[in-house]
Every structure is written in structure tokens, then in C-alpha cells.
Structure 1
Amino acid sequence: MTTTTAPNGASPSTRWFQLILGMIAMMAISSPQYVWALFTGPLTEKLRVPLAEIQVTFSLLIVLQTFLSPAQGYLVDRFGPRLLLSFGAALTGLSWVLAAQVESLMGLYLTYGLLGGIGTGIIYVGVVGMMVQWFPDKRGLATGLVAAGYGFGAILTTLPISTSLKTSGLSSTLMTFGVIIGVVGILAALGTRRPSTAVAHVAADAEERGLVQETRNYTPREMLRSPIFYLLFVMMTMMSTSGLMVISQMGAFAKDFGVKDALVFGLAALPLALTIDRITNGLTRPFFGWVSDRIGRENTMTIAFGLEGIAMTIWLLYAHNPLAFVLLSGVVFFGWGEIFSLFPSTLTDTFGTKHATTNYGFLYIAQGIGAILGGPLAALLHQMTLSWHVVFGVAITMDLATAFLAFFVLKRMRANHRARNAQQMAALATA
């Protein structure tokens, strides 16, 4: 098999240090997305514009983070992670520093939205691309851990930022934490590097033990000609959309079901559910990634996606019960967040490591499409039908359909893909 190498050798243990650096970089750039809700009120007051216009900033952040990822992935593959990840961290921090000084809506769009989207996108796709290359035998676990870092990172900043907004104001908070985000991200990025020659031995051993089956590296152009890529793209879009349909509307349907302010363990049901959801949504990424390293990607997808569909069905049936609402919401998100470990691992298993970052950049666009469709689609369906059952029904159908595709379609297509690759390699060896 072919792996990305560097002239310098390194102990395989070095990759765990790279994993830690990747997690730190991801944690540093998670706040622009996950603490955005804390800024909407102060920004509305400062700029004196409607909330809907402020929220365009968040849409820009997500769209640019995902839709530019193929180009960002190519640059990381071309120039290496150290330079590009440092640049991404600097852009992310700078987006907050400059946003602290804006006096217009367009200024907010260009700083927090544009620069923030580009910066966080470089870090996200770059770190995931590094992990699938450094860990050929543990791709699911490694990508799950860094993806969990992105989900958990904002837990460290949410309370300090909330406190700072009350005591120091919007501009000071953005300035201070922008510098912190940038410095921490750059320091982590400066320690990153490409996989070493030592990883080739790990990869060869993993292939001998049947943990990976890649036989050659596909360029992005070659990958985009493969039906497997488009199947993965559709599956990731469906899973992303179904999860975000629920995430975006939790407050609304909790209110309609009469559980929003009900007490569970002495706490309001909705914020408690959101807290548990963030935890389970983070834990599921390394857990199911680890499982997939052992029982196979498609088998794990079938279990995880099916779990979400079943949990969402039960959740809907018992949503009027505050305790059930809280507990089942955690199960639902435990069946959703693993898409950020399973899909990049499956893609790299299939198309190789050399162009892994660029290739995943193309697949990651599916998350952007899900972000665009999820909230509006749920709101539109509820507006048209005045029923949350229809919204949940569409989401559940997507979950179960994706589980079906993983087991009955993707599994067979990837098996045929590996067989063709093996035949080609054998023909070349005997030529």
C-alpha cells in the first residue's frame, strides 16, 4: 500500500502526540460555532439590526467552513499541516479581534463570518486529514477523538465568555478570547507534521491483520468518478440533515410538548437535555469510531444510524414526559455525532491516504448541505403540517434509509471496489 511519508523517521508513539495537538487545535477553534448564541443579543443591541440579519453571520461561518473545504484540504496536502493550520488558527483568532471593532453588519459578516469560516474550515479538514493518515489502524478512533475535541472545546469557554460579556462587554470579550483562540491554535499547529516513515510499518501491519484494505491512492479526480463517493455523499447529507432538523427545533417542540420548563432532577428540562446532548454527541464520535475499527465501517453505520432512528421514534412517542424527553434526547444524539468519525474513516479506507485531506474536503460539503437544509426544512414542514410528527417522520426515515444503504449497498460496493483493486495490483505485479 502507499502512504504519505516524510524524510524523517519517527517512533509510532509520535502519532499520539500529533493526536493531542490535533485535539487542542480543534478545541481552540470550536467556540465560533458553539458559543455564537451568547453573542447574538449583544450584537443585536450594538448594531441595532434585527436578529434575523445577525444570524446570517452564523450561516456564513458554516457555509464557508464546509464549502471551501476541498480547496483548503488541497492546500494542506500541498504545503503541509504546520503552515496551513497555523494560518487557519490565526484567521480564526483574527476574526474575533476584528469583529470586536466592527460598527456595521457587513463588517460582522466579513470578520466573524468570512474570516472565521475560512479559518475554522482549514483547521477542521486539516486535522481530520492528518488523523486518517497517522492512524491507518485506528482511523475511526483517531478521527472520533479530534471530532470530539471540536464538540467539547466550547465547554471550556462557554462560562468564561458568558461571564466576560456581563463584566467587560462585547468588544473586550471578543478581543480577549480572539487572542487566546489564535495563540492556542497556532502553538498547537506549529507542532504538527506529516506522517513519518514509521507509520508505514503500522499501516502494513494493519493491512496484514485485515484492519485496512486500501491498495492504492486515488486522486480527487479519480474519487469523483467513483459511485462510492456519491453514495457516501448522499448518506452523510441525509444523516447531517436529519440530525440538524432536530437540533435546530428542540426549543420549539419542547415548548409545544409542554416540557420546556418542566423540572428534571431539579433542573429545567430543555437546558438539561441540551447539556446531555452535547456530552453524548461528543462521546459517540470516538466510541463508534473505535467500534468501527473492530467490526467494520458499514456494520457500525448500520448499528449507529439505526439506533438514532429507533431512539427518535421512541422519543417522539414519550416526548410529553419530561424525564423521557431528557434521557432519550441524549440517546438520539449518541446515534448522530459519529458521522464525523465514520465517514472520513470510510472514505480514506476506500480511496487511500495520499490525498486524504483533499478527498475528505469534498465529502465534508455534505455537512454544509445538511446545515442549510436541516433547520429550514424542519421549520417548513412544521409550518405546512402544524405537526412535529411529520418532521420527526422525515428525520427517522432518513436515519433508517441510511442504515439500510450502509449494510445492503455500501458494503457490497466497497467489497467489489477492493476486489477490483486487488486484481489490478496483482496484474501489475505479474506484468
Structure 2
Amino acid sequence: MTVQTALAPRSIFHGWFVVAAAFAVMFVGFGSAYTFSAFLEPLQRDFGASRGSISLVFSIAGFLYFALGLVSGPLADRLGSRPLAVAGMILVAVGLAAASAAHSLVEVYLAYGLGVGVGVGCAYVPAIGAVQRWFVRRRGFASGLAVSGIGLGTLAMPPLASLLIASVGWRGAYLALGAITLILGGGLSLLIENDPKDRGLGPDGDPIRDVSGATSSDGASVREAVRSTRFAGLYVSCLVCSFGAFVPFVHLVPYARDHGVAASSAVLLLGMIGAGSTAGRFFLGALADRMGRDRSLIMVLIGMAFAMAIWAVAKEVWALAAFAFVYGVFYGGWVAVLPSVVMDYFGGRNVSGIIGILYTSVAFGTLIGPSAAGFVYDVNHSYTLPILLSAAANIVAALIVVAIVARGGTHAVSAATR
């Protein structure tokens, strides 16, 4: 080896490009989805619909983008994550463009609900599953960095949507968001690759010969994973948690408006969730690598319950902002830590497929929770009951994970069928 070769700069590990691509997919996909609260009032006004029926638009989209991981995850394990991520971004863009031309609420259901729902469903699980394979030592940090795109999308996109609605109307706003999704999300998703071995590397950029322990090709089969008690516990925990997890994304802005907060300030509360979510995904993801990822999962679930308790008594804008930020931190930690826990428990061989099946639990909670909160409001003109039930659900979800941890250690690839 010559001195010149020895001193040659080391190229950037491609895993970080995969993280950047997944970040972009999350940013525009979920960022566009979570602008929905900014559209709720103009849609309700133009179509003369109740708050519950408008909320159902988001619930349909949310159900689809989590439920379709059941299909897109296994397809990504077989065909690769890149084509699914690219197709997903195209579908989101088409759905938003179609929503801009809708002339009835049913057309909004079909355009936004199916377009955004199916599009994010195609892209989300394959993108986050690909990230898991590229890292071991820094998996929690890398996963948190990737899904921080959801947090920053929630921070940036709703205020942008609000400005667009004010300037070009809700139809023009949907069209502009579709263009952003196609250019940014569709373009950067081309960087996604499934496995570092395709580049002659192991996880974290280590030479394959230096990689010890489980690799991205090791782990449980999908059948072994879903029949395990650990998977059953995670599934029920996610199902219970998700009944309330997405209620703030739909109802925080109208809640604030009901309590006299100006529209311009109310929409910024979603940005506060995004800011907290970004911090939570970034820092709690890294912290989880040190303190144990499944134990971190317990912590973030309890934190979400604590934040909901703040919301139950918050009336002033400063208190709502405090809730939004605190909730965002722990919600972001939940989203960041959960895929890494799956990888720890079941290995990388079928990680996208296993995550996809797990996220069907979140799909059912997302379908029911936000729309149910809207219909409860239509009946009694109060969000107190949905908020308190959401807090209780997070405590129950945390207790289920406590039971999982009590049954065995963190690294459970070899014991997946327990």
C-alpha cells in the first residue's frame, strides 16, 4: 500500500445516502398527509360536511398507508425498496393533484384517501426497512434520522399549506404539494438500495469479513416472527397506542380554534409537533442505542400519555404549544425506536415484511381514532373524552411492552418463536 493510497479520503458510506432518501420520502409523504388539519376548515366549509365526515378523509389515508405495508414490505424484501418508494411518491403526487380537482367529498375520499394512502403505503415501510439493513451499531440513530423527515415535514408542510391556501386556495395548495412530492420525494428515492452487500460492504460500512454476529440476511422468517409472543405483544401495543396517536394531527388545530386561537397561530401548533418530533426522533433514537431500544419504547409510550394529560387541561396557546412540542418529542421517539426493536427481535432477513405486518395494527387505530374523535365532537362539542382515552391507551400500550421485556432480552433473533 502506498502512502498516497493510505492517505486517500474515505468515501461517504452509502448507508447515509439511503438514510437521506428515506428522510425525503418521509418529509414529503407524511408532511403532505399531516397538512390535512390545515385543510379541514375549508373542506368543511366548501362541502358543507360535519367534522367527523371530513376527518374520515385522513383516517382512510392513514389506514391505507399503514395497512399497505403488509404488501409493500414483503415486496421490498423480494424486489428491492427503490421501485416501491419511487412508485409511492408518484402516487402521492397524483393523489394530491386529483384532490385539487375534486367537486364532492366522495371525490376527496378517493383522490386524497386513496392517492396519498396508497402512495405512502408503497414507500414508507420499504424505505425504513432498507435503512435497518445498512446499520447495526448506529441503527437507532440512523432510523431516527430517517424518520425525522416526518417531524420536519410536519414542521414545514402545514404552515406552507396554510400560506398556499391563503394565496391560491385549497385546490391550488394541493396541486403545489403534489409537485413538491414528485420532484423532491420521487427524485431522492432513487438513492435507496436494499443491502450493503450489493456494494461489497457490511452494515455500518465495515468490510464483510469484519462483520460478526447477525447480518442483514440473518433472522426469523415472517411465519416465525408473527407466531412469536414478542410480535403479538408489539402488535397489541401498537394497536392500542394508535387509537389516539394521530388524533392531534387532525384535531389540534380545530381544538385551538374552538378556544379562540387565531388561525395563523393554530396551524403553527402542528409545526410544534413537528419540531418536537424531529428532536425526539434524532435524540431519542440515539439514546435508545445506549439504554436499550425496547426499554426506550416503554419510555416514549409513557411520555405520550403524559403529553395527552397536558392537552386535556390546555386552553391557552402557550399551553397548547407546550403540549404539541412534548407530544412531538415522544411520538417521534416511538416512530424512531419501533422499527429498530423489530430488527433487534427478528433480524434483517424479512425486516420489511415483518414491519409491514406490524403496522397493520397502526392502520386500524388510525382508521378509527381520528374519525371517532371527530364524531364524538359532533355529538357533545368537546374533545375531553377522546383525549383522556388516548392517554389511557398509551399507558396500556406501555404496560404490554413491559411484559415483553420481562419475558426475555433485547436480542431475540435466535429466539423468535418463543
Identity of aligned residues (%): 23
Select 1:241's aligned residue among 243, 263, 285: 243
Match of 1:3 in 2: none
- SS of the equivalent of 1:29 reads helix
Bigger shift: residues 383-392 or 369-378: 383-392
The CA distance in 1 between the partners of 2:406 and 2:277, in whole Å, is 29
The CA distance in 1 between the partners of 2:78 and 2:396, in whole Å, is 37
Match of 2:409 in 1: 415
The CA distance in 2 between the partners of 1:320 and 1:414, in whole Å, is 43
Match of 2:334 in 1: 339
Match of 1:367 in 2: 362
The CA distance in 1 between the partners of 2:416 and 2:99, in whole Å, is 53
The CA distance in 2 between the partners of 1:224 and 1:254, in whole Å, is 41
Distance 1:100 1:213, change over 3 A: closer
The CA distance in 1 between the partners of 2:248 and 2:175, in whole Å, is 33
Structure with the greater alpha carbon radius of gyration: 1
Measure how far apart 1:349 and its partner are: 1.0
Distance 1:355 1:42, change over 3 A: same
Give the AA of the match of 2:291. Answer: I
Match of 1:219 in 2: 221
Measure how far apart 1:400 and its partner are: 3.0
Structure 2 residue 52 is the aligned partner of structure 1 residue 50? no
Measure how far apart 1:302 and its partner are: 2.9
Measure how far apart 1:306 and its partner are: 2.8
Determine if contact 1:69/1:364 at 8 Å carries over to the other structure.
yes
Distance 1:307 1:57, change over 3 A: closer
- SS of the equivalent of 2:332 reads coil
Give matches, 1:319-330, under 5 Å.
319=314, 323-330=318-325
Q: Deviations over 1:306-330 (max 9, x none)?
A: 33334544665x6467645542443
Match of 1:287 in 2: 283
Bigger shift: residues 409-418 or 131-140: 409-418
Measure how far apart 1:284 and its partner are: 0.9
The CA distance in 1 between the partners of 2:375 and 2:43, in whole Å, is 27
Q: Deviations over 1:381-415 (max 9, x none)?
A: 789999877655543333333333333x2113342
Match of 2:146 in 1: 146
List runs of 5+ in structure 1 lacking aligned partners.
1-9, 425-431
Match of 1:350 in 2: 345
TM-score in terms of structure 1 length: 0.79
The CA distance in 2 between the partners of 1:373 and 1:423, in whole Å, is 31
TM-score in terms of structure 2 length: 0.81
The CA distance in 2 between the partners of 1:244 and 1:82, in whole Å, is 28
Q: Deviations over 1:354-382 (max 9, x none)?
A: 21111101111222222233335556778
The CA distance in 1 between the partners of 2:331 and 2:144, in whole Å, is 12
The CA distance in 2 between the partners of 1:373 and 1:54, in whole Å, is 13
Q: Deviations over 1:137-179 (max 9, x none)?
A: 2222222222220232254444444333344344444334323
Give matches, 1:68-83, under 5 Å.
68-83=68-83
Determine if contact 2:15/2:205 at 8 Å carries over to the other structure.
no
The CA distance in 2 between the partners of 1:304 and 1:54, in whole Å, is 30
Give the AA of the match of 1:144. Answer: G
Q: Deviations over 1:161-212 (max 9, x none)?
A: 4333344344444334323311222211222212222552549899x99998
Give matches, 1:297-312, under 5 Å.
297-312=293-308
The CA distance in 2 between the partners of 1:374 and 1:69, in whole Å, is 19
Aligned length: 405
Determine if contact 2:292/2:410 at 8 Å carries over to the other structure.
no
Distance 1:213 1:386, change over 3 A: farther
List runs of 5+ in structure 2 lacking aligned partners.
1-9
Give the AA of the match of 1:76. Answer: A
